[in-house]
Amino acid sequence: MKIDLSTISQPIGKYSTAADGNLQRFRLTKDQVNSYRKHGFVVGKESLSEEFMELLCADLDFLISPENANNSLWHECHLNECDSGSDVLFHALGAWRISEGFHDLLWQPAVTIPATQLLDADIRFWHDQLFYKPPKHGGGVAWHQDYSYWTRTSPMSHLTCWVALEDATIANGCLHYVAGSHRWQLLPIIGLAGEMKAIKDALTEEQHDALRKPHPIELRRGQMVFHHPLTVHGSFQNTTDKSRPGAVINMLTDGVSSNCSEPLLTGIPVIPVGEPLVGQFFPLLRRRGDSL
Ligand SMILES: O=C(O)CCC(=O)C(=O)O
């Protein structure tokens, strides 16, 4: 696992397309798209195949191993100590550059076909993330909006896909969403590993009330959920004796540009302000008009 797989701007392996060639089945229904527009999140229609999950999970063990922590292909790799004391959260960006499985995950039709529908556009990769909560002392992720971390790219036309690498349950710290919060104002950055409710000072009373009634999203291994860049989400601790791994694919509409004279991700060249995100690190994943 030495070569930088970001040099390959297309799927590498045999699990990259639907084995039976039936791509229609990955399309979200009208009701699902409407539900996303109303609530700011939607669970995908199709899961990843068990063969593909086995490939991902075999690579996951290496990715999160201490010997891989200093791999220069990571844009970021943190073992966050959480506010709750002994809890920790592994969080890293760049798995697609290291693992063939995580590379090809970006082009899975279960991910890209719903993404073209929800963004109603040609879609590019922005970056990936791994969130791994170890057994018993897996830390939570504080309430946040993704776009608070992404204002260095604009306009806001982004989408997140969170993939369950094992069953995600309330007990092991599945994602929770605040329905309708994609219509809230942009909130400040508060730190993912900080106190769960650190965001509350930035909220109106009504928003604070909504935060008390979040929607837990329990998923089976291989299922995924999509959310809007302003949807407030977070997750609680993993209290079970199994880990809770999740892979995240962050995407954007083709044409979204840099707002920033620094590298957009650690270790990549600067994209000048006003220039679109294209090239090695931001491959095109799917065109809206691609045939099904
Ligand atoms: O995996 C988690 O618990 C948190 C994921 C998350 O915050 C995100 O996808 O933005």
Cα–Cα dist 131/245, whole Å? 6
Measure the CA–CA gap between 145 and 199, rounded to whole angstroms.
Answer: 10
Cβ distance 198 to 143 under 8 Å? yes
Among the listed residues 224, 247, 221, 243, the one whose alpha carbon sits nearest the alpha carbon of residue 51: 221
- Phi, psi of 61, rounded to the nearest 5 degrees: -55, -40
Q: Where are the alpha helices (H) located in the chain, listed in sequence order?
A: 30-39, 50-63, 100-105, 109-119, 205-211
**pLDDT tens column, 191-249:** 777 777 778 888 999 999 999 999 999 999 999 999 999 999 999 999 999 999 999 99
Q: Helix 109-119 vs helix 30-39: angle between axes, to the nearest 10 degrees?
A: 60
Q: What is the mean pLDDT of residues 114-122?
A: 98
Q: Which of 41, 131, 192, 228 to mutate to test the pocket of ligand 1 (most atoms within 8 A of CB)?
A: 131
Helix (H, G, I), strand (E, B) or coil at 136: coil
Q: Which long-range contacts (CB under 8 A, 24 or more apart) does 274-280 make?
A: 277/124, 277/126, 277/153, 277/252, 278/124, 280/6, 280/7, 280/9
How far is it, in rounded angstroms, from Cα 199 to Cα 211?
Answer: 10
Pocket test for ligand 1, best of 64, 93, 175 (most atoms within 8 A of CB): 175
Confidence (pLDDT) at 87: 86
Kindly report the protein residue whose alpha carbon is nearest to atom 3 of ligand 1: 235
Give the pocket of ligand 1 (CB within 6 Å): 131, 141, 146, 160, 162, 175, 233, 235, 246, 248
∠ CA 248-131-261, nearest 5°, is 65
Question: Which residue has its alpha carbon closest to ligand 1 atom 6?
Answer: 234
Confidence of residue 13 (pLDDT cuts 50, 70, 90): confident
Q: Report how far ligand 1's centroid is from the alpha carbon of 282 (Å).
A: 21
The model's pLDDT over 32-82, given as tens digits with 9 standing for 90+, comes to 999 999 999 999 999 999 999 999 999 999 999 999 999 999 999 998 887
SS3 286: strand
- Ligand 1 mean position, distance from CA 224 (Å): 12
Distance 21 CA to ligand 1 centre (A): 31
Burial of 11 (0-12, 13-18, 19+ CB in 10 A): middle
Q: Which CATH class is domain 40-65+74-286?
A: mainly beta
Ligand 1 closest atom vs CA 131: 1
Please choose, from the candidates 158, 164, 129, the residue with its C-alpha nearest in 3D space to the C-alpha of residue 245. 164
Nearest CA to ligand 1 atom 10: 146
The pLDDT value given to residue 47: 95
Do residues 227 and 41 make contact, with C-beta atoms less than 8 angstroms apart? Answer: yes
Q: Please, which residues bridge with residue 275 across strands? A: none
Angle subtended at Cα 88 by Cα 127 and Cα 1, rounded to the nearest 5 degrees? 45
Instruction: For residues 140 and 147, give the distance between their C-alpha atoms in angstroms, rounded to a whole number.
Output: 19
pLDDT of 84 above 70: no
To test the ligand 1 pocket, which listed residue (80, 127, 129, 199) has its Cβ within 8 A of the most ligand atoms? 129
The atom of ligand 1 lying closest to the CA of 160 is: 9
Cα 155 to Cα 147: distance, rounded to the nearest angstrom: 11
Rg over alpha carbons for the chain, rounded to the nearest Å, is 18
Q: Which atom of ligand 1 is nearest to the CA of 233?
A: 7
Average pLDDT over residues 90-114: 97
Q: In the prediction, which pLDDT does 200 show?
A: 84
Residue 17 confidence (pLDDT) above 70: no
pLDDT in tens, 140-166: 999 999 999 999 999 999 999 999 999
166-199 pLDDT, tens digit each: 999 999 999 999 999 999 999 998 877 777 777 8
* Ligand 1 centroid from CA 147, angstroms: 13
